[in-house]
Copies of this chain bind each other. A is one copy, B any other.
Amino acid sequence: MSAEAAVNEFIRQVVAKDLEGAAALVSDDLEYDNVPFGKNHGPEELKTFLGQMVSGFDEVEFIIHRQTCTGNVVMNERTDRFRSGEKWIDLPVAGVFEVDADGKISLWRDYFDMATFTSQMSG
Contact = CB atoms under 8 A, between A and B. Distances in A.
Say whether chain A's binding surface is mostly helix, strand, loop, or mixed.
strand
Given A35-B116, A36-B116, A67-B70, 12 more contacts: A66-B73, A66-B96, A68-B68, A68-B74, A68-B75, A75-B75, A92-B111, A94-B96, A94-B111, A111-B112, A111-B113, A114-B115
A77 B74 CA distance: 11
20 contacts: A35-B92, A35-B113, A35-B116, A36-B115, A66-B96, A68-B68, A68-B73, A70-B70, A75-B76, A75-B77, A77-B96, A93-B111, A94-B94, A94-B111, A111-B111, A112-B113, A113-B114, A114-B114, A114-B115, A115-B115
Contacts of A112: 111, 113
Interface of A: 35-36, 66-70, 73-77, 92-96, 109, 111-116
A70 B69 contact: yes
